[in-house]
Structure 1
Amino acid sequence: MRRHVSQAPRFLRVLRALPVLAAVTALTVSGCSSGGSKPAASGSTAPATPSASPSVEAICLLDTPGEKQVTHFEGGNDHLVEAYTTGDGPVGVVLAHQVGADLCQWSGIWTDFPAKDYTVMAITMGGGIDTDVSKAVEQLRARGLKKIVLIGASMGGSAVLAAAGEVTPPVQAVVSLSGPAAYGVADAFSAVKKFQVPVAYFAGEQDTQFATDAQKMYDATAETDKTIDILKDDGDHGVALWPQVKDQVFAFITKHAQ
């Protein structure tokens, strides 16, 4: 009997404590799910709308004059594309980066495009890379540009090739620097088999996998206005090829878009 009496108060104390424990648990779960201590990765949440004025993420743009040229728009897989646009020329150029990089990868290259001749948009891509490129084309066309050229390096090469197979009306030209035949959702090889867009492929001979893919895609490309340059004894990849191929790229663009 004494044992039964001694247990009753403990039981009552547990009952009284339950609401407090529930409240503490709710606060703890809320704090963990808010992500307050660690920002969510890009694309892991629903994208902000352009009116939300997202902060600039590309480090190379933080001190760049003319922040009005930094824009954000919805791309593929709920990814919010960050874009930097420079120049006000009549030919639009989309620059698509390599894996593990962002639009800053092109910061030493977009200055090669004369502002009076080109409007260049470098983008930071997410999961739906071909869609990101297609949406960038829409952005340039919304600015009134009628002629568009796509240039992509490595992963970006796959993105621009796949996007060029989807964009309507077609863009004027596409350039792939070491683009693989496929990357993620971007199936470049399937796209080029139906191509009706002038295309130029570049790769280093010693960058063997990508040189092989460039030749494979060139051979499969339906468009007759196509060119390929496998740079002999060259192991450079993607944007690293730019100094060697820049003149050819500009000649190709001039032929088809100016």
Structure 2
Amino acid sequence: MHIDVTPRTGVLALAAALALAGCAGTGSPASTASAGQTMAAAKAPGCLPSGTQAVTVDSGGTTTAVAVAGGGAHGVVLAPQNGGDWCQWADEAAHLVEEGYRVATFTWPGSGARAGQAAMRSAAEALRTAGAQDVALVGASKGGTYAVAMADELAAVGVVALSPPSRFDGLDARSSVVPYRGPLLVMASRDDPDVPRDDSYLVARPSEGPSFLEIPLAAHGVAMLQDEEHREHVTFEIDDQLARSFGG
């Protein structure tokens, strides 16, 4: 899938949103993104695609560093693993920008459900502020649990979760519990050293269609995208799921 929109479109839109609030580039609160949220310009990380725009988003007293790259109407949140930062998804972010998506990723601001939920809300809000009309969630491990558990709240059009624990930080992502019923793909390594394949399986909805894919690996989360033999397959499955989520 390729959307013919230049990557600069997205970052300019976010910069414009900050500038209109009168504080772009100053590091002071820039705009009220939604109830209880404010944004401020920040320095973008060098690990992400050229032209990436960064902001800090304060949501309910939790401040999250969010980076937004690319352009177009379709936004993708890339949620890192536990303790991960906005560079963890760097290669996939670059790939998705090339595919024409507007991409946001972030650094977890701390441990616990409150901080984690604030981070997810902040990333989705930054995408929408930049101009994304609809948003899909892609997460690895902890990020996958949060993506599924919060998909309904964040009005996600689709979710991809790599090696998600069925529960994390008190959030429950089991298919029998979450209200989200939209497009879902759960991928797990057969011999995952950190989260058992069978635990990730609880997040999928196989009774409602193909929503679970087992990869013959002993890798966890984003490491599934770093395995030479299976990288192309995993990338293809994510691309295909996103295309279907956005109606492509």
* TM-score, length of structure 1 as denominator length: 0.69
Match of 1:177 in 2: 162
Q: 1:50–1:116: structure 2 CA closer, same or farther, 3 Å change rule? A: farther
Give 2:103's match in structure 1, choosing from 113, 120, 127: 120
| Equivalences, count | 202
Matched, 1:71 2:50: no
Quote the Cα distance in structure 2 between the aligned partners of 1:66 and 1:112. Answer: 14
State the one-letter code of the partner of 1:145: A
Match of 1:162 in 2: 149
Match of 1:88 in 2: 71
How far is 1:201 from its partner? Answer: 0.1
Give 2:221's match in structure 1, choosing from 216, 238, 248: 238
State the one-letter code of the partner of 1:173: G
User: Deviations 1:62-112 (Å, cap 9, x if unpaired)?
Assistant: xx7546x01110246x32111111111221000110112201101122111
Aligned counterparts, 1:1-258, within 5 A: 50-51=29-30, 56=43, 60=47, 66=51, 69-75=53-59, 78-115=61-98, 117-126=100-109, 127=111, 128-167=115-154, 170-189=155-174, 193-207=178-192, 209-219=195-205, 224=208, 227-232=211-216, 234-242=217-225, 243=231, 244-257=233-246, 258=248
Gaps in structure 1 of 5+ consecutive residues: 1-47
State the one-letter code of the partner of 1:215: Y
Quote the Cα distance in structure 1 between the aligned partners of 2:81 and 2:125. Answer: 21
User: Deviations 1:215-237 (Å, cap 9, x if unpaired)?
Assistant: 11224x89x355110113x1111
SS in 2 for 1:100: coil
Q: Quick check: 2:83–2:108 contact (8 Å CA) kept in 1? A: no
Amino-acid identity (%): 27
More helix by share: 1
Quote the Cα distance in structure 2 between the aligned partners of 1:225 and 1:238. Answer: 23
Quote the Cα distance in structure 2 between the aligned partners of 1:198 and 1:111. Answer: 23
Quote the Cα distance in structure 1 between the aligned partners of 2:42 and 2:240. Answer: 37
SS in 1 for 2:91: coil
Q: 1:248–1:218: structure 2 CA closer, same or farther, 3 Å change rule? A: same
User: Deviations 1:44-67 (Å, cap 9, x if unpaired)?
Assistant: xxxx85349575485746xx7546
How far is 1:149 from its partner? Answer: 0.9
What is the aligned-residue RMSD (CA, Å)?
2.7
* TM-score, length of structure 2 as denominator length: 0.71
Higher relative contact order (CA 8 A, sep 6+): 2
Q: 1:210–1:115: structure 2 CA closer, same or farther, 3 Å change rule? A: same
SS in 2 for 1:140: helix
More strand by share: 2
Gaps in structure 2 of 5+ consecutive residues: 1-26, 31-38, 226-230
SS in 2 for 1:235: coil
Q: Quick check: 1:153–1:178 contact (8 Å CA) kept in 2? A: yes
CA radius of gyration, larger in = 1
Quote the Cα distance in structure 2 between the aligned partners of 1:166 and 1:110. Answer: 23
Quote the Cα distance in structure 2 between the aligned partners of 1:195 and 1:95. Answer: 18
